[in-house]
Structure 1
Amino acid sequence: MKAKVALQYILPHRACSRVVYWATRWRFGPWKHWLISQIVRRYDVDMSQAAEPDIRSYPTFNAFFTRALKAGARAPAGDADTLLCPADGKISQTGRIENGRIFQAKGQSYSAAELLGSEEAAAPYRNGHFATIYLSPRDYHRVHMPADGALTATTHIPGRIFSVAPFAVEAIPRLFARNERLVCHFENQHGPFALVLVGAILVSSISTVWDGLVVPPYASNITAREQRARNIRLARFEEMGRFNMGSTVIVLLPEGASVDATLTPLAPVKMGQRLGQWNATHPS
């Protein structure tokens, strides 16, 4: 385990990720068929839920990895005030943001300000709630809206591209606040909320439905964009982005919303299931 962690600091993250980016888009039939079949077998991927279950029909490995679900494979839980899980995967952590700090794992924490890129952006979440969801290679890799929301701003933050697998999350301090990431800010009648799409080694390619491919290119400086004038509004349960390989998504909620206490670390989750509630009358 120590060797795996040490490699995270030594490996040339961006160079490795560029090679994988190219390899997952190579259309050479024998290569992409072999690679897809390896992932399906190794990670026991359930292709019966895919809109296209035939793995040989995908033109590239990335097309397979970002595959759509068939109609009815997921359904939004609850009513309009029920917050939805934005992705398939496993819970890494959930809980209250305490004085602006977010729990990572085993005594590790980081600040909302460093995650989002500024104290101003983090202010609404100082005593709010968070949910961190890890997407493994077997999971559906599109990210959906936990609630109705108007896009207000995005921030592309440069950084490392450490693995976000559980072993790395437990061992590398402030990992999510150090990795390259895209912060998407939304608001609705209840207040603001944010989705943070965190890149990871070999899998650091992120797209949104409004801008297409955002990462790469990798950032060298923090790039903040005001988005209100574009009038981009997405409905609860609607797709908002995708990881072109797997990674982690973090949901930040203001005080007054809650995350279900039943969502404990390593609990499997599905996109569309109940994540929490707006205007909670009791803490989770």
Structure 2
Amino acid sequence: MKQSIYRLFIELTNKKWSSYMIRKFVQSSLSRPFISSFIKTYKINVDEIEGRVADYKTLHDFFIRNLKEDARVVNYSEEQAVSPVDGLLADTGSISDDLVIEVKGKPYSVLDMLGSEGKASDYSGGEFAVFYLSPANYHRIHSPVSGTILSRWSLGQHSYPVNELGLMYGKEALSKNFRSITELKHVKGKVAVVKVGAMFVNSIDYVHEEKEWTQGEEVAYFSFGSTVILLFEKNTFRLSPNKEVPRNVTVGETIGDFIK
């Protein structure tokens, strides 16, 4: 019963009209007075943001804020991958031979996530990492590796929550929410960067249109976004051992090594 009620609620509140109304409000000057309470509620470190709080005209502008140039250190290395976001490294593990990943004890289909067997089959037996961004986090996305874009595509229409309740009761949010996938060719193998939309606003905006991504550079941002999933091919990558998961990570932090 509880599951049915929660699912009904998130489906009713995630239609085009509600998304449109929320987007219009946060992008309007009417939302500006809410910036200070947003900062206080989420305990945001304003010392690392670019510019002054007073410079931000809307809540949306503040949400997609830039950081000062020296606020993050990128551990550049062709032999390693780094975190693409600030957030919680929520889960890691192996992709099963039948293309399933298990996140918080719940299975998700990589085939559904990527949309085709041709795309998904390359990651059978590989590794995955799931990064969850809370409202408090810096919401710009950086490249985890240096590589060439092989392809980019988007799937899905609606987005259900990706918080704990959303993952528990939603309709396979990580594999069926609106998502934009970029597949990169790294010197050690393919890496899929799956950017998953959050409840209400299916907006993932790219700021980097070149074919080459450089490790650590900004490539996109979420407008009230949510989750990034990295997929690595089999026998190409090993996540850092002896590090606690879940744990908080920042952009540019090493998360694992490519296999020599």
Normalised to the residue count of structure 2, the TM-score between the two structures is 0.91
Identical amino acids, percent of aligned pairs: 26
1:38 corresponds to 2:17: no
Aligned residue in 2 for 1:221: none
Aligned residue in 1 for 2:133: 135
State the superposition RMSD in angstroms.
1.8
> What amino acid sits opposite 1:21 in the alignment?
R
Aligned residue in 1 for 2:26: 24
Aligned residue in 2 for 1:50: 49
Change (3 A) 1:140 1:83: same
SS at match of 1:7: helix
Aligned residue in 1 for 2:70: 72
1:14 corresponds to 2:16: yes
1:260 corresponds to 2:240: yes
SS at match of 2:134: coil
Structure 1 stretches lacking a partner, 5+ long: 212-230
CA distance in 2 between partners of 1:265 and 1:172 (Å): 23
Change (3 A) 1:95 1:263: farther
SS at match of 2:103: strand
CA distance in 2 between partners of 1:240 and 1:263 (Å): 27
CA distance in 1 between partners of 2:242 and 2:76 (Å): 16
CA distance in 1 between partners of 2:134 and 2:201 (Å): 11
CA distance in 1 between partners of 2:159 and 2:242 (Å): 30
Deviations 1:209-266 (A, max 9, x none): 246xxxxxxxxxxxxxxxxxxx610100011111011311111111121222445444
Q: Which residue, out of 146, 163, 167, partners 2:165?
A: 167
Where in structure 2 are the equivalents of 1:76-155 lying within 5 Å? Answer: 76-77=74-75, 79-99=77-97, 100-106=99-105, 108-155=106-153
Q: Which residue, out of 230, 234, 237, partners 1:251?
A: 230
CA distance in 1 between partners of 2:150 and 2:207 (Å): 15
> What amino acid sits opposite 1:42 in the alignment?
T
* CA contact 2:148–2:186 (8 Å) conserved in 1: yes
* CA contact 1:135–1:141 (8 Å) conserved in 2: yes
Superposition deviation, residue 202 in structure 1: 2.3
* CA contact 1:109–1:173 (8 Å) conserved in 2: no
Normalised to the residue count of structure 1, the TM-score between the two structures is 0.84
> What amino acid sits opposite 1:156 in the alignment?
S
CA distance in 2 between partners of 1:260 and 1:13 (Å): 40
Deviations 1:2-59 (A, max 9, x none): 5544411332433222212111211x2xx3332211211111111111122x212012
1:209 corresponds to 2:188: no
Deviations 1:153-175 (A, max 9, x none): 11110232101112211233522
1:270 corresponds to 2:244: no
Structure 2 stretches lacking a partner, 5+ long: none
Change (3 A) 1:12 1:44: same
* CA contact 2:86–2:133 (8 Å) conserved in 1: yes
